[in-house]
Amino acid sequence: MKNQKRKISIFWAISFFLLLSSSSVFLINNIIAVNKLIKEVNIVKDDIMKANQTNNSLKMEIEKLGSYDRVKKIAEEKLNLKIDELNIRQNRKIFIKRNEME
């Protein structure tokens, strides 16, 4: 038996290390890109959450400003309108003559 030791060519060694280093750079670049995208996604999620909070507060304000009691008070005080509670309860139409509006 011959004791044969196989020598590794310098070309193959350099090729292997180049392939290893280029794949490492590619992997690190992908990790950096993914982290950057995760930060952007979190920023967008925060913006969406703030917009939802703003929308909810505006909805509450709309409900408050459009409440029946508030509208009734403004109609009576500023526009001098009278509300007939009987017609509202019976769900009948209210007719106002043009000369009564002036």
Q: Is residue 46 part of a domain?
A: yes
Domain count across the chain: 1
Q: Is residue 17 part of a domain?
A: yes
Query: Residue 45: its pLDDT value, please?
Result: 97
Q: Is residue 18 part of a domain?
A: yes
Q: pTM of the full predicted structure?
A: 0.54
Q: Is residue 1 part of a domain?
A: no
Q: Is residue 4 part of a domain?
A: no
Neighbour count for residue 75 (Cβ, 10 Å): 13
Q: Is residue 61 part of a domain?
A: yes
pLDDT less than 50: residues of the chain: none
Domain limits at 37?
Answer: 10-101
Q: Cα(94)–Cα(28) distance, rounded to whole angstroms?
A: 75
Output helix, strand, coil percentages for the chain, rounded to the nearest 5: 75, 0, 25
Please give the DSSP secondary-structure letter assigned to residue 37: H
